[in-house]
Amino acid sequence: EAGVVQSPRYKIIEKKQPVAFWCNPISGHNTLYWYLQNLGQGPELLIRYENEEAVDDSQLPKDRFSAERLKGVDSTLKIQPAELGDSAVYLCASSLGTGRGPDTQYFGPGTRLTVL
Amino acid sequence: AQTVTQSQPEMSVQEAETVTLSCTYDTSESDYYLFWYKQPPSRQMILVIRQEAYKQQNATENRFSVNFQKAAKSFSLKISDSQLGDAAMYFCAYRSAQGAQKLVFGQGTRLTINP
């Protein structure tokens, strides 16, 4: 079974440029998460989707960040315009989302963003 | 809000020896889940082991086991017979049992295995 797929793995951009990250969750997983991981720290949730609906986006900086999950499968996270402080690793995760049991989250390899 | 604390930024162990990574958490909830994830240099978070708070028995997965002390809000990870491939960042994480909730991570512990 394929795991969570993310692309690109690395992205280097100039500040004020736009950037987009793509995530394909594990087949059949209804819940999708985007996490931000700064260097030397644990990940922090940016947004959580249940199917197509964003049910927790309280930590998403909405002035420059946006996300979508069309048809409840793939998801795209966008930053426009990027700032120097956005340099980090962006992790995507998915889970069955049944609301029962541990509902383990499985992570993709992440995208390392460098803003110059 | 829940918090997770890993007080050991770095740990090292000799190959084939045993090492214990510490984790404490703060919550007012009685039902939740705890996880240990491993993040090698490739960056992909890999689930190591998980524990349901309502279970008194400590979880075990091959060489990995936990010491879950609910009253003390402690959740340590023991790695037995350490192998070179165990070298990675290890993150402790908490999740509420109320629906599909976010993971709250600790700051991580970098584990080095000395050959």
Condensed to tens digits (0 to 9), the pLDDT of residues B51-108 reads 999 998 999 999 999 999 999 999 999 999 999 999 999 999 999 987 657 899 999 9
Q: What is the pLDDT of residue A102?
A: 80
A95 vs B contacts (CB less than 8 Å): 100
Q: Indicate the DSSP class of residue A64.
A: T
Spell out where B60-108 has E strands.
60-61, 64-69, 74-79, 88-96, 104-105
- Which of A42, A93, A106 is nearest residue B107 as measured by Cβ atoms? A42
| CA nearest to A102 within chain B | B33
- Contacts with B, A 43-82, CB within 8 Å: 43-45, 48, 50, 55-56
Q: Please check whether residue B28 touches A, CB under 8 A.
A: no
For residues B105 and B103, what is the distance between their CA atoms, to the nearest angstrom? 6
How does pLDDT run across A40-80, given as a tens digit for each residue?
Answer: 899 999 999 999 999 999 899 999 999 999 888 999 999 99
* Token pair for B32: 């939740």
A81 upstream amide cis, omega within 30 of 0: yes
Residue-level pLDDT at A58: 87
Q: Give the residue among B66, B29, B8, B43 at the shortest CA–CA distance from A39.
A: B43
Q: Which A residues in the span 24-43 are in contact with B, Cβ-Cβ below 8 Å?
A: 31, 33, 35, 40-43
Q: Using CB atoms, pick whichever of B33, B95, B106 lies closest to residue A42.
A: B106
Place of tokens 């998980």: B50
Determine the residue among B31, B34, B43 to mutate to test chain A binding: the one whose Cβ has the most chain A Cβ atoms within 10 Å.
B43
- CB contact, 8 Å: B33 with chain A? yes
How far are the Cα atoms of A110, A112, B15, B44, B60 from residue B110, in angstroms, in the given order?
A: 19, 19, 15, 15, 21
Output the CA angle B32-B82-A41, nearest 5 degrees.
50
